[in-house]
Amino acid sequence: ALLGAAVAVVVVYLLGGRGAGRGTPEGLVLAGVAVTAVLGAVVSGLGVLDADAYGTLRMWSVGTLAGRELPVLWEVLPFLLVGAVLALAVAPALNAFALGDEAGRA
């Protein structure tokens, strides 16, 4: 999974860095959306081959822990706590208004 994520990042960077506005935030966002759409279609296509595996993947992808036993919850709890702390720490820097008025009108 980590290797696949690294490849996706490289593809987004290469696609987002092309054109007149090289490496602009808007270009990177659009490239990320395009790569997400393509990879989502691939995953959906693979889900047609094995419906049970796709159902399990879908449940984990949306973040649900429903129907899991207590030991599984204890295993993921540290990751959930670290993620929550990191998200709260960087939240001010991820302000959507930081892009400015021009990007907001686009």
Say whether both 8 and 55 belong to one domain: yes
- Of these ranges, 19-28, 45-54, 97-106, the one predicted with the greatest mean pLDDT is 45-54
Measured between alpha carbons, how far is residue 45 from residues 39, 54, 57, 84 in Å? 10, 10, 13, 32
Domain that holds residue 30: 1-64
pTM score, two decimals?
0.54
Answer yes or no: is pLDDT of 86 > 90. yes
5-32 pLDDT, tens digit each:
899 999 998 888 776 556 778 888 889 9
Quote the number of domains for the chain. 2
Say whether both 60 and 30 belong to one domain: yes
Q: Give me the mean pLDDT over the 27-53 stretch.
A: 87
The whole-number pLDDT of residue 82 equals: 96
Say whether both 81 and 106 belong to one domain: yes
Say whether both 33 and 45 belong to one domain: yes
- What are the tokens at 28? 């990177």
Phi, psi of 64 (to 5 degrees): -85, 145
Say whether both 11 and 40 belong to one domain: yes
